[in-house]
């Protein structure tokens, strides 16, 4: 799981902007990146708000990097 912080939520487009640490499974070793991700399940966006700390898993998909799992962090 990757630690992140919610910066923006776009429910209409099914996207979320997260500031996050390295994502090892995608060979992204940079720390402190901010990226826009698609979400596999738009319902995920209803469970978080801007400023929340989250933990997530992401995978490369044909539509771009997609969050497959997300939960509130501590």
Across the range 50-74, mean pLDDT stands at 94
Which residue would you say has higher pLDDT here, 57 or 30? 57
pLDDT tens-digit readout, 20-44: 999 999 999 888 899 999 999 999 9
Do 19 and 5 meet the contact criterion of CB atoms below 8 Å apart? yes
Do 54 and 41 meet the contact criterion of CB atoms below 8 Å apart? no
Q: Which residue has 């923006």 as its token pair?
A: 8
71 CB contacts (<8 Å, ≥6 apart)?
1, 54, 55, 56
Distance CA 61, CA 51 (A): 26
Q: Domains of the chain by range and CATH? A: 2-72 (2.40.50.320)
- In the chain, % of residues over pLDDT 90: 86
Give me the pLDDT at residue 74, please: 72
Residues linked to residue 49 through DSSP beta bridges, in sequence order:
none
> Above 90 in pLDDT, residue 19?
yes
């Amino acid at each position: 799981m990757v630690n992140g912080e919610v910066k923006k939520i776009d429910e209409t487009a099914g996207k979320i902007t997260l500031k996050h640490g390295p994502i090892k499974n995608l060979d992204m070793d940079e720390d402190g990146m901010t990226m826009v991700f698609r979400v596999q399940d738009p319902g995920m966006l209803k469970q978080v708000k801007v400023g929340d700390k989250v933990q997530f898993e992401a995978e490369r998909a044909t539509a771009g990097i997609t969050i497959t799992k997300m939960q509130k962090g501590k």
